[in-house]
Amino acid sequence: MSGLPALNAGFPTDLSYLRLHLNESPYGMCDGARRIIEARLGDASYYPDSDCADLRHAISAAHGISYDMVMVGSGIDHLVLEIALAFRDKVSGGLVTASTYPAYAMSLSAAGMPFLVVPARKFAIDTDLLISAALSSPRLVFLCNPHNPSGTVIEKSTMADICATTARAGGVLVVDEAYSEYVTRTRREDCSVIGLVRAGWPILALRTFSKAYGLAGLRVGYAVAARALIDRIRGVRNATPFMVNRLALDAARASIADRAFVERVSDETRANRSYLSEWLSRLQLAPVASEANFILVGPLPDSGGVTEHLRDEYRILVRDVAQFGLPGYIRVTVSDGEKMDRFMSCFQTLLTTVG
C-alpha cells in the first residue's frame, strides 16, 4: 500500500483541540442512546450478538427492506475492507475515483486487488469517464455520495446509469452514503441509492452512525444490499464474528429510532453550512457548494501551511486535502455556532497575517 496516505497521521488526539478535520458531529448522541449506554455498561463483560439481530431489524424497518438485506459492521471502513475481501475472486479488479477518501484504495490494495483510478472533474466525479471505465471489465466500483471531500452529489438517475453499466460488465457498485442525512430534504431521496436497492439493483449502499447520529467513537455502520451480496460478505465476516461491540449496537438501535433528533442535527448543520459558505465567499474564497457536513475551502496559496498554523497557533484542526490530490484546499467540518465563530475569527486573522 505504499504511496497511499495515512489518513490521520500528524493530527493530535487531545480532545481539547477544536476538531474540524474528521467531520464529527458537535451535537453528540441522542438522549435515548446516552441512556441505554449508561444502563447497559454492566453488560460490557459479555460478548455481543454476533448476528446484530436487533439492530438489523431496526435498520430494515427504517428503510422498508427485509432483514436479510442488512449487514452491520464496525463503521464503514470495516465494511469497505470486508467487501473488498469478499469480492476479490468475483471481479477482475477495483475502480475508484481520484481526490476522495483513500480508504477505498487502501482496502482494495490490502485485498490484493488491482484497481483503476478515474480522474476527478473539478470537484465532482467525472461520471462519463467512470461509466467508460466500468464497462471495460467486471470491477468492484467504489463511490462516495455525497462526495468526500467536496460535498457534491450524483443524482439517482445518473447513479442508475453507473449501476447498469457496472452490472452489465459483471461488476458490483458500492456507494458510501456516510453523509446522506445532511443532504437538503427535498433532494435526499434522489441522492440515495437505497431506493434502487429496494427495486432490485445490484448495489451495496453503505451508511454510518458516526456522522449525524453522533456515535463516531462507538464505530458502527451498515450495508444494505440484495441478500446474495450480503451473504457473500457474511462469508468473510465469519472469521471475525464479534466485530461490533454491545454498547454500539444498543446505542445505534436507539439512535435510528429517534428521527426527530437526527433531523434537528441535519437542519442546524445545513443552516451553519450556509452561514459559513457565505462568509467564506465574502473573503474572496471559492467554497464548493456542499451537501455534507463539511465545506471544501480554497484556493489558498499554501493549504499545508494554513493547516499547520491553525493547529499550532490556534489549536484548530482542519484537513489539508492535498493528500486527496487537491493542493491549495482545506476541508472544514461544519460545527455549531460557537465553534464556527472561533474558526472564522482565527482563520480570518491567519489570512490577514500570513496571506
User: Is omega for the bond preceding 149 within 30 degrees of 0, making it cis?
Assistant: yes
Q: Which residues contact 242 (CB under 8 A, 6 or more apart)?
A: 47, 48, 50
Q: What is the pLDDT of residue 7?
A: 61
Instruction: Give the pLDDT score at 155.
Output: 86
Could you give the C-alpha distances from 196 to 2, 65, 189, 234, 271, in angstroms and in order?
A: 36, 11, 10, 22, 29
User: What's residue 254's pLDDT?
Assistant: 98
Domain ranges for the chain, please list them.
18-27+260-354, 31-257
Lookup: cell for 103 = 480508504
Cis-peptide into 327, omega within 30 deg: no
Task: Decide if 233 contacts 83 (C-beta within 8 A).
Answer: yes
Query: How far is the C-alpha of 148 from the C-alpha of 24, rounded, in Å?
Result: 14
Check residue 123 and give its pLDDT: 86
* Predicted local confidence at residue 2, as pLDDT: 40
Quick check: 213 and 30 in contact, CB under 8 A? yes
Residue by residue, pLDDT tens for the chain (355 residues) are 344 455 666 688 888 999 999 999 999 999 999 999 999 999 999 999 999 999 999 999 999 999 999 999 999 999 999 999 999 999 999 999 999 999 999 999 999 999 999 998 878 889 999 999 999 999 999 999 999 999 999 988 899 999 999 999 999 999 999 999 999 888 888 889 999 999 988 899 999 999 999 999 999 999 999 999 999 999 999 899 999 999 999 999 999 999 999 999 999 999 999 999 999 999 999 999 999 999 999 999 999 999 999 999 999 999 999 988 899 999 999 999 899 999 999 999 999 886 5
pLDDT, tens digit, 9 for 90 and up, residues 160-212: 999 999 999 999 999 999 999 999 888 888 889 999 999 988 899 999 999 99
Indicate the residue type of 246.
Answer: R
Convert the pLDDT of each residue in 24-43 to its tens digit: 999 999 999 999 999 999 99
Instruction: Retrieve residue 345's grid coordinates.
Output: 475569527
- Residue position matching grid coordinates 430494515: 60
Cell of 213: 447520529
pTM: 0.94
**β 221-224/319-320 pair status:** unpaired
As a whole number of angstroms, the distance between CA 120 and CA 329 comes to 15
Q: What does the block give as the cell for 123?
A: 470537484
Domain at 31-257, CATH class: alpha beta
| Amino acid occupying residue 187 | R
- Does domain 18-27+260-354 bear CATH number 3.90.1150.10? yes
Can you tell me the distance from the alpha carbon of 127 to that of 124, in angstroms, rounded to the nearest whole number? 9
